[in-house]
Amino acid sequence: MASADDLKFQEFSEAADLLAANPGATTKSMFEEGQSQHATLHVGGDSEEEEEETDQTELLASQKKTSSFWTFQYYQDFFDIDTYQVLDRIRGAVLPIPGRNFVRHHLRNNPDLYGPFWICATLVITVTIMGNLGTFIQLHNQKEPHTKYSPQFHKLSVAAVAIYCYAWIVPLCLWGFLQWRKGVSPNVGSYSFIETVCVYGYSLFVYIPATVLCVVPNEPFRWVLILLAMILSICVLVLSVWQHIRRDNKMVVIGLIAIMVALHVLFAVGCKMYFFMEQENKTPVPEINATIQQTIYSTTHKV
């Protein structure tokens, strides 16, 4: 049986024979080999992790794309948003900065319906309540015995129909027009329908504080508030659309911007004239008619 020394000398002799056969060869320790193997495995692990993350991203994207339009999951994705994102988008809609696109800087390819839905609902409530309260204050300040205040509850349904139709139908028409122009001209871009609704919904937020302050019974003050809110809201809409239509035909661009501005002006002025119209002092007609009839009756009988 060979001893440990024999085995040791045999190992060295085999190594010496190999070195003699290949004088230019270099030896490599087992420790260095282990390190290289460890490094190789480590790099391979990183690439596998990256591939795994990529696969997960593609899987999630495919799951999101395969959600049907009629399923609850399709709409649930548009309500998956936190408070910080909503506040950031409200801030971007209230303070538009020239050169900054609302969709690119605030939505970031992640539009939501949570903000537009509740902004429209809040605006419906504030317009109705403040409109009725403003009418009550005006009638109370007139201090006339024949004037009586009656709540106008029908304005709630009018406000809901007007605001939600404007926040959904106008974006639908704009989205359809941009899709058509995108097919006609290669220089025209377009947003998705949800992104267009999101822009219009957040642009209406500025009307909420404006309508709250419109409870003050002062017509010039009310007009200033409505016009200021209208200008800020129009800036958000125009700056968002301008990026996709600036290279289109000039007449088409001018016409589209003019229609957008006209519809928004009509919406703002209509809300002001309907919900915050100044109540004028009116003499009761029945009393005048009674006086005229009494005069005619007395004159006829004298004759």
Q: Of 100-109, 179-188, 289-298, give the lowest mean pLDDT range.
A: 289-298
Contacts of 86 (CB under 8 A, 6+ apart): 112, 114, 115
Residue 149 pLDDT > 80, yes or no? no
Q: How much is the pLDDT for 280?
A: 62
Q: Which residue has the higher pLDDT, 174 or 69?
A: 174
Residue 206 pLDDT > 90, yes or no? yes
Domain-located, residue 240: yes
Domain-located, residue 222: yes
- To the nearest whole number, what is the mean pLDDT of the chain? 76
Q: How much is the pLDDT for 270?
A: 94
Residue 182 in tokens: 């995108």
- What's the CA angle centered on 28, arms 23 and 34, to 5 degrees? 165
Please name which of 237, 284, 239, 286 lies closest in space to residue 261, comparing C-alpha atoms.
237
CA 177 to mean position of chain CA atoms? 20
For the chain, what is the domain count? 1
Domain-located, residue 18: no
Domain-located, residue 108: yes
**Which residue has 């919904």 as its token pair?**
201
Q: Are 276 and 133 in contact (CB under 8 A)?
A: no
Q: How confident is the model at residue 248 (pLDDT cuts 50, 70, 90)?
A: confident
Q: How much is the pLDDT for 164?
A: 96
Q: Of 48-62, 153-167, 271-285, give the lowest mean pLDDT range.
A: 48-62
Quote the pTM value: 0.68
CA distance 245 to 106: 20
Domain-located, residue 22: no
CA distance 27 to 174: 74
Domain-located, residue 73: no
Domain-located, residue 56: no
pLDDT tens-digit map of 255-302: 999 999 999 999 999 999 999 887 665 544 454 455 555 665 566 555
Residue 34 pLDDT > 90, yes or no? no
Share of the chain above pLDDT 70, in %: 65
Q: How confident is the model at residue 208 (pLDDT cuts 50, 70, 90)?
A: very high
Q: Which residue has the higher pLDDT, 72 or 55?
A: 72
Q: Which residue has the higher pLDDT, 93 or 38?
A: 93
Q: What is the mean pLDDT of residues 22-44?
A: 47
Residue 161 pLDDT > 80, yes or no? yes
Q: How much is the pLDDT for 106?
A: 84
Residue 89 pLDDT > 70, yes or no? yes
Q: How much is the pLDDT for 60?
A: 44
Domain-located, residue 69: no
Q: List C-alpha distances in Å: 153 to 139, 158, 178.
A: 17, 9, 38
CA distance 156 to 141: 24
Q: What is the dihedral of CA 292, 297, 302, 303, to 10 degrees?
A: 90
Q: How much is the pLDDT for 36?
A: 44
Residue 121 pLDDT > 80, yes or no? yes
Residue 20 pLDDT > 70, yes or no? no
Full domain range(s) for residue 260: 99-282
pLDDT tens-digit map of 232-242: 999 999 998 98
Q: Which residue has the higher pLDDT, 78 or 88?
A: 88
CA distance 59 to 82: 23
CA distance 149 to 279: 11
Give the DSSP letter string of 67-101: S-TTSHHHHHGGG---HHHHHHHHHHHHS--TT--
Q: Are 48 and 41 in contact (CB under 8 A)?
A: no
**Which residue has 């404006």 as its token pair?**
210
Give the DSSP letter string of 149-205: ----THHHHHHHHHHHHHHHHHHHHHHHHHHHHHHH-TT-----HHHHHHHHHHHTT
